[in-house]
Copies of this chain bind each other. A is one copy, B any other.
Amino acid sequence: MPTHTFTPDHYHNTIGSHPPVLHIAPGDTVITTTVDAGGFDANDKQVVGGPNPMTGPFYIDGAEVGDTLLVHLDKLTPNRVRGWGRPGLAQNVVDPAAVPALPSRDMMVDWNVDAKAGTASLKEPMGKLGNFTLPINPMVGCFGVAPDIGQAISTATSAEHGGNMDYNGFVQGVTVYFPVFQPGALFHLGDGHALQGDGEMSGTGIEISFDVQFTVELLKGVKSGWPRGENEEYIFTAGNARPLDQCVQNATTEMLAWLQQRYGYTVAEANLLIGFAVEYEVGNMFDPAYTMICKIPKRLLPK
């Protein structure tokens, strides 16, 4: 299958029905780059403003409303050394009475990201934490397809079309499924994180630019309602809304549908599977829409 190398020269702060930068066919692979959440590229030069500038959109030939687009995240690699993030928690993630004691939201910290060693360390030591070092886990914060009725939705938020889900499980090796709402699907991506805590509680991961490789496929006539994903161990669904309760409702309802659609379970069997074996993860609890992930272990499912 063809591999396209695409060098972006402009970016979008919304996910919408923008003119495509490239037409690709199901099975094709794209090698490209993304700038960070603030628009800084591989040379740490700001080439566009925030929020979360998107590379794309890519038009997938043959994609029609009601299909499902598959995106294999083949490679996600930070392509520079400096990452940045906020150390102070967001005001909405602590008890309202605890807000005044939070550090300033203006504080920023830089991280040295060593993609080869697989680590990120604080550039400046910070008290007891010193040059705090964490293993990296490169992930896509914001990606998705053009939403319905011609909407253009800010890359600060998320919905049925994907968007700024900020889930730290969207890593290399994962296959993501998006409902197709517009002809060609119009796939956008950006907002790479070298790593991110659950919930993106300070409103950032370690924000950094990426080298990206992805491959698309198309499930003709297979309807989905929300982003879905799959890795070696799990199938999962994402719900994007507020409050977290509704994210869980959206993701669980989508999982119920998928279990019946893909594996032929009855509704009662799908209920039982979720009731006794489901796992949940918090995507983000910072963005205008929060994200929760509903997971079922593959070891419990038919091959």
Residues of A within 8 A of B (CB): 13-14, 16, 51, 85-103, 105, 107, 109, 126-129, 132, 134, 148-154, 195-199, 201-202, 204-206, 241-246, 248-250, 252-253, 256, 263-269, 271-282, 285, 290, 300, 302
A86 touches which of B127, B154, B275 (Cβ 8 Å): B275
**24 sampled A-B residue pairs with Cβ under 8 A:** A16-B152, A86-B275, A87-B268, A92-B96, A92-B245, A95-B253, A102-B271, A127-B266, A127-B269, A128-B264, A128-B266, A129-B273, A134-B276, A134-B277, A134-B300, A151-B154, A197-B275, A198-B280, A199-B278, A244-B245, A244-B248, A245-B245, A245-B290, A280-B282
Does A151 contact B149, Cβ atoms closer than 8 Å? no
A202 nearest in chain B by CB position? B275
Does A252 contact B149, Cβ atoms closer than 8 Å? no
Does B109 contact A245, Cβ atoms closer than 8 Å? no
Question: Which of chain B's residues have a CB closer than 8 A to the CB of A86?
Answer: 275
A91 touches which of B99, B202, B205 (Cβ 8 Å): B99
A103 touches which of B97, B105, B128, B271 (Cβ 8 Å): B271
A13 nearest in chain B by CB position? B149
Does B85 contact A91, Cβ atoms closer than 8 Å? no
A256 touches which of B94, B126, B302 (Cβ 8 Å): B94
A245–B290 Cα distance when bound, in Å, is 10
Does B252 contact A93, Cβ atoms closer than 8 Å? yes
Does A100 contact B103, Cβ atoms closer than 8 Å? no
* Those 9 A-B pairs whose CB atoms lie nearest each other, nearest first: A202-B275, A91-B96, A244-B244, A99-B99, A87-B272, A243-B243, A92-B96, A95-B253, A280-B282
Question: Which of chain B's residues have a CB closer than 8 A to the CB of A282?
Answer: 248, 280
Does B128 contact A98, Cβ atoms closer than 8 Å? no
Question: Which of chain B's residues have a CB closer than 8 A to the CB of A148?
Answer: 154
Q: How far is the CB of A159 from chain B (nearest CB, A)?
A: 8
Question: Which of chain B's residues have a CB closer than 8 A to the CB of A109?
Answer: 272
Does B88 contact A198, Cβ atoms closer than 8 Å? no
Does B199 contact A280, Cβ atoms closer than 8 Å? yes
Does A206 contact B14, Cβ atoms closer than 8 Å? no
Does B269 contact A129, Cβ atoms closer than 8 Å? yes
A154–B102 Cα distance when bound, in Å, is 30
Given the known interface contacts A94-B252, A99-B91, A249-B94, the answer about A271 and B202 at a Cβ–Cβ threshold of 8 Å is yes
